[in-house]
A and B are shown apart, each in its own frame.
Chain A
Amino acid sequence: MAQLGESLADTGAWPLLRSERTWGRWRLAIALATAAAATWCYLIGEFEGYYLNFFQGGLALTAGSMIGMLMVLLAVGPTCIRFGIESVASAKPQFGSRGWLIVGVMQLLSIIGWNCMLLIFFAKSLSQLLSTLGWLPAGVGVAQIIPFTTLIACAVVLLVLLWGASGVTHLSNILVLHVFVGLWMLYVLVRHRWPELVAAQPTLAHTDTHWNYATGTEIGIVSLLSWWAYIGAMIRMAPNGRTIAVPVMLGMGAPVPLLSLIGVAGILVLKTSDPSSWLRTVGGHFYAIVALTFVAAANFGTAIAGIYASAIGLRNFRRLERLPWLAMLLLTITPVALIGMFIPDFVFDRFGTIITLVGVAFGPVCGIQIADYYVVRRRRVDVRGIFERSPGGPYYFWAGVNPAAVVALIAGFAAYIYLLNPITYESHGPYRFLTASLPSSLLAAIVYIAVTRLIVIPAGRGGYGRG
């Protein structure tokens, strides 16, 4: 593989050795914050603002976000940090040497969905910026150039990632400044509209205040559960658990709710979560340009992290292990480019469904991984087994699939959908007190433990006791 990055291994799914994992706390925190802070925060905030006022919305969203971040960190953190592997590989002891495909596909779809949203948001904002600056040719509208700006965005992401993890960190060192720009935008809105903000009421709030509060918390949880797909590829660049704990919780967990307050405030007071719309009314042309530039920078950092994580995840496929890094990037970014160029609004208009589908998917996965690592395996993992695919490998289970994980996943899915329908937002049962992610994750964990202890371990499968 011809490489420009600091290590061959950081463009593959093979384990990184401790000597190669050179990111300290600050470098990791900057990379995570840059990835976390993107314009999806506005959309998250917008949804929060539909159900809760600014005070409760901010608190519920922050609480939910930190809970979701902890779930992800406990699920993938230990295995990724001990063995220098990424998220999909960390799921092999639970799902099996072939069953990992389930979470691999989930990761890929999740990142494609998020990246479509980010790059389309970037393309729209860049197009608006060009229009605001008067740089568009006569007769050319914003909508007409979105496919081109999407293509430009994808090309730049590709060029940066030719440097592997080095590309991620070098760009993060610059783009992290946008996090502070985002906080400035929040300050501007709060300072100019504080009385209205305090008085504003959400437009879609139920009469059941418990439901609203649970939904506000749930939005925070599922938004951070999305990080399951991204986090392994980044934290494996650090050498140990102590290095990653605070950067993940604060560097990745905290920026999302903080910047989402922009969206909460925007939708409550100005009926739009997009700061490039309302900043113009507050501060004129200059403020609008700042906002649009922020959007461009914010989304780039996250899209880059997402494409990187997705490409590393795809390396788990045997046929893709030795594919040149450029080909891996093209494979990962092409679906995003095509959707962004031809059907940009298809994903964009379904944001509410997408974030709850993330909860449906990754909540149970987190429950399964936490249960397996801490309760059933008691932290004993066979690193060799993660990379063995033969029937003799410890994680082969039955035909490469662990039925305990599949059954638990289905149970978790079903529980989530019963508690909260991700399309209609219709809810049942204890959702109004417990959210949907937490009970479904817990149920998946319980089912996983039960099936493992009753069937898998007695059958001598799964490598329990090894490692």
Chain B
Amino acid sequence: MSEALPAELERRIAALESGEEAGTDFDFASWCWMILFGVVLPAGLLLWGWFG
């Protein structure tokens, strides 16, 4: 049993559910950047710091 949400909140949720006003998740380019800066770069820096 759902509670009644405030009218403005209901309007916003409906707009998001319709997809028109929702943002989009990370795309392929975003994943590439995140892996580069969050995995590859740190791994390289750690190896350089240890063996350099």
| A interface residues, Cβ below 8 angstroms from B | 9, 14-15, 17-19, 21, 55-56, 59-60, 62-64, 66-67, 69-70, 73-74, 77-78, 81-84, 213, 217, 238-242, 244-246, 249-250, 253, 379, 383-384, 387-393
Contact = CB atoms under 8 A, between A and B. Distances in A.
Given A239-B24, A245-B26, 9 more contacts: A19-B21, A59-B46, A60-B45, A63-B43, A73-B34, A78-B26, A387-B9, A387-B13, A388-B5
Nearest to A18: B21
A384 B13 contact: yes
A73 B1 CA distance: 34
Contacts of A19: 21
Given A56-B49, A383-B17, A388-B3, A82 B42 contact: no
Contacts of B50: 56, 213
Contacts of B25: 78, 81-82, 240-241, 379
- Report the 5 A-B pairs with minimum CB-CB distance, sorted nearest first: A70-B38, A59-B49, A241-B26, A63-B42, A245-B30
Nearest to B13: A384
13 contacts: A9-B12, A17-B21, A56-B49, A60-B49, A70-B38, A81-B25, A83-B22, A217-B46, A239-B23, A241-B24, A241-B30, A249-B34, A379-B25
Given A63-B49, A241-B23, A391-B1, A15 B33 contact: no
B37 A18 contact: no
Nearest to B32: A245
B33 to A, nearest CB: 5
B1 A18 contact: no
Contacts of B38: 66-67, 69-70, 73, 249, 253
What does DSSP make chain B's interface, helix, strand, loop or mixed?
Answer: helix
Contacts of A18: 20-23
Contacts of A60: 45-46, 49
A72 B49 CA distance: 24
A388 B27 CA distance: 29
A391 B1 CA distance: 7
Contacts of B49: 55-56, 59-60, 63, 213
Interface size class on chain B is 35 or more
Prevailing SS type, chain A contact patch: helix
Nearest to A209: B50
A82 B1 contact: no
A250 B24 contact: no
Nearest to B8: A14
Contacts of B33: 245-246, 249
Contacts of B24: 81-82, 239-242
Nearest to B43: A63
A63 B41 contact: yes
B2 A393 contact: yes
Contact of A15 (B2, B3, B12, B48): B12
A179 to B, nearest CB: 18
A82 B22 contact: yes
